[in-house]
Chain A
Amino acid sequence: MENNTILSIRDLTVHYITREMGTCRAVNDFSLDIFRGETVGLVGETGAGKTTVALSIMRLLQTPPAKIVSGSIEYNGEDLLRKPVKQMRSIRGQEISMIFQDPMTALNPIDTVGKQIAEVIRLHQSVSDAEAAVKAGDMMELIGIPRDRYNEYPHQFSGGMKQRIVIAMALACSPQLLLADEPTTALDVTIQAQVLDKIDELKKMLNTSVLLITHDLGVVAGMCDRVVVMYAGEIVEYGTTREIFKHALHPYTKGLFNSLPSQDTERLKPIPGLMPDPSNLPERCKFEPRCEHCGEKCSACTPQLTEIRENHWVRCHYAQEG
């Protein structure tokens, strides 16, 4: 593992096992390296498995019904999946932080915001209460909220501000890696712009790597260095943002771009059908039932991730031919 790699996920496989649904193969053989200081976009639709990946990194999955079947997640040379719970606690918040989609429910309504930020600092750094409060104030200024609002409660802030407070809490201890799960989906467009800018600014300042989970390709274009496209629990394509946007190769990725009403197209070309039921995935290529370009190979053997262009990997038998 190079010195440049923060996190190394190898062959992660996660299943959800319930009586009603059987075994849902939520994540299948997922491998990804995240480098220092970069923003990786994890793109996919509902049910692709993106949140499951993030929760696995943080070891926040509910097991049962989830089960990490195999794989490893290496951070600083140690496998997070095999760490004792106590050690994970010291990593969460300090080394790896996560922010979730809904800022309304992420904050404790009965504590002041300043106190909540300070709490994160106190948990991980051996500083006095007074020092923690000062640092919390610093964090608030950093995210654009005046320090003198330290003693106000979450309900006194708007959605965008609450999300920024959540970001402050996540970054208070200067973590190496920030997992952001659809951090701006619930926010208005103008507020989204503010929040994303803040994340970008802070990330550069603290040299934090970011795994940005989103379904919004516009956000990805603006924020991410590399993009990983997930479908039915697997990576179907990944590469630098420029590569993916300019030269999308996997039929699913191309389908996503064609579904966007941003081009001046005559008619949208949506991908027909639906994502497969995770408890009943197709045998070989998972996208085959919806694919317009499939051929014999697709139902015969499972496609592997291959580097088709430089820094551009695709899981498709026919990728070269477009």
Chain B
Amino acid sequence: MKKNEHNRTIRRRSMAGEVIDRLVRNKTAMIGLLILLIVVFSCIFANVICPEGYNSNDLPHRYMSPSIKFLFGTDSFGRSMLARVLYGGRNSLLIGFLATCLAAVIGIALGAICGYFGGAADIILMRFLDVLNAIPNLLLAIVISACLGTGKLNTVLAVGISFIPGFAKQVRGPVISLMGSDYIEAARSIDATNTRIIVRHVLPNVLSPLIVQFTLTIALSILCVSSLSFLGLGIQPPEPEWGALLSAGREYLTHYPYLCTFPGLGIALTVFSVNLFGDGLRDAIDPKLKN
């Protein structure tokens, strides 16, 4: 009698491997990723591409249209718009990213605690978060920003806090439905503490949709940072930032449109590519395709 024990043991790659495989095959997602990487790396290497910095005045060359020498033109102080946009990109991207991280860490923790423990804590916290959620993101960010003032840290806080309810609610739902799973009960039966259960059993199993949420929130938060700066909060001159640059160039839109075009393009390309990639990521992780 032959033993053929492996018949049902389908040796697949790990789940992450499958996800990456599906992702890589998605052309639009890869295009999005490519554009994003181009934008990000250009900003990271701003000091290589524009060694003169973002604040080097060159008054004789004010308001010059894009040319070979000044790829994106110059602004009212003769500063290279290319430099302004690239250094500005650093701020926009970094602050957007950090704000999202802040929102994710706090939001996930809150959502997990609410979902896991339930009861009074859940009710109170969720009502509070509901109130926050009812206020449009930008408005909330404006209010917090107005209280805290301008500057990088304050902007990170303002934008970050405004996205916390979104993450909390995204986590809470899946956590609650996970609580019905037997393996949570099994973990209790082997004497796991609540912390251990949340960290090792609950969170890893709700993180998949959060990855997508995270990606898409980055796009929104970059937009939010730019909007704040556009409105006079957030990051202000001489620090460059895409939204601030838009605001500065607004008056001259008819005469020198390039002052707005390139910062605007920066925002648009980033948000667009992040969304493309995020959508692809969501499709790749989609549980319907698993088993």
Residues of A within 8 A of B (CB): 20-21, 272-277, 280, 282, 288-292, 294
Given contacts A275-B7, A290-B1, 19 further A-B contacts (CB under 8 A): A20-B18, A21-B10, A272-B1, A272-B3, A273-B3, A273-B4, A274-B7, A274-B8, A276-B4, A276-B7, A277-B7, A277-B10, A280-B7, A282-B4, A288-B2, A289-B2, A289-B7, A291-B1, A294-B1
Beta-carbon contact of A277 and B8 below 8 Å: yes
Closest B residue by C-beta to A21:
B10
Asked whether, in the complex, the Cβ of B7 is within 8 Å of the Cβ of A20, the reply is no
Taking the complex as formed, is B5 at the interface, i.e. its CB lies under 8 A from any CB of chain A?
yes
Interface assignment of B12: CB less than 8 Å from any CB of chain A: yes
| A277 neighbours in B (Cβ, 8 Å) | 7-8, 10
- In the assembled complex, the Cα of A84 lies from the Cα of B4 at a distance in Å of 43
- Flag if A289 contacts B4 (CB, 8 Å): yes
User: Do B12 and A20 touch (CB < 8 A)?
Assistant: yes
Q: Is the interface of B mostly helix, strand, loop or mixed?
A: loop
In the complex, which residue of chain A has the Cβ closest to the Cβ of B12? A20
CB distance B10 to A273 under 8 Å?
Answer: no
- Collect the chain B residues with CB atoms within 8 Å of residue A292's CB: 1
Q: Which residues of A contact B2 (CB under 8 A)?
A: 288-289
Closest-by-CB residue of B relative to A292 is B1
Of chain A, the residue at the smallest CB distance from B2 is A289
Q: Give 24 pairs: A residue, B residue, CB < 8 Å, sorted on A.
A: A20-B12, A20-B18, A21-B10, A272-B1, A272-B3, A273-B4, A273-B7, A274-B5, A274-B7, A274-B8, A275-B8, A276-B4, A276-B7, A277-B10, A282-B4, A288-B2, A289-B2, A289-B3, A289-B4, A289-B7, A290-B1, A290-B4, A292-B1, A294-B1
Inter-chain contacts of A20 with B (CB < 8 A): 12, 18
Q: Is A273 in contact with B5, judged by CB distance below 8 angstroms?
A: yes
Closest to A281 in B: B7
The smallest C-beta distance from B196 to any residue of chain A, in angstroms, reads: 33
Q: For the complex, what is the distance from the CA of A290 to the CA of B4, rounded to whole Å?
A: 7
A207 vs B10: C-alpha distance when bound (angstroms): 45
Smallest Cβ-Cβ distance to B291: which chain A residue: A20
Nearest-neighbor residue (CB-CB) of A277 within chain B: B7
Question: Which residue of chain B is the closest to A47 with respect to CB atoms?
Answer: B8
**How far is B18's CA from A277's CA once the two chains are assembled, in angstroms?**
20
CB A286 to nearest CB in B, in angstroms, measures 11
Q: Which residues of chain B have C-beta atoms less than 8 A from A294's C-beta?
A: 1
B5 proximity list for chain A (CB < 8 A)? 273-274
Minimum distance in angstroms from A25 CB to a CB of chain B: 13
Q: What residues of B have a CB within 8 angstroms of the CB of A288 in the complex?
A: 2
1/0 per position for B1-34, CB-CB distance to A under 8 A? 1111101101010000010000000000000000
Name the distance in Å between B83's Cβ and chain A's nearest Cβ: 48
Closest 8 CB pairs between A and B? A289-B4, A276-B7, A277-B7, A274-B8, A289-B2, A274-B7, A292-B1, A277-B8
A18 to chain B, nearest CB (A): 10
Q: How far is the CB of A43 from chain B (nearest CB, A)?
A: 20
In angstroms, Cα B18 to Cα A275, docked, is 25
What's the minimum C-beta distance from A26 to chain B, rounded to whole angstroms? 15
Give CA–CA (A282, B7) in the complex, Å: 10
**Which residues of A sit under 8 angstroms from B4, Cβ to Cβ?**
273, 276, 282, 289-290
Closest chain-B Cβ to A38's Cβ sits at a distance in Å of: 34
Q: How far is the CA of A277 from the CA of B12 in the complex (A)?
A: 14
Tell me the bound Cα distance from A274 to B1 in angstroms.
Answer: 14
A224 to chain B, nearest CB (A): 29
Q: How far is the CB of B291 from chain A (nearest CB, A)?
A: 9
CA distance A21 to B4 in the complex (A): 19
Measured between alpha carbons, how far is A288 from B1 in the docked complex, in Å?
8
Separation of A282 and B2 alpha carbons in the complex (Å): 12
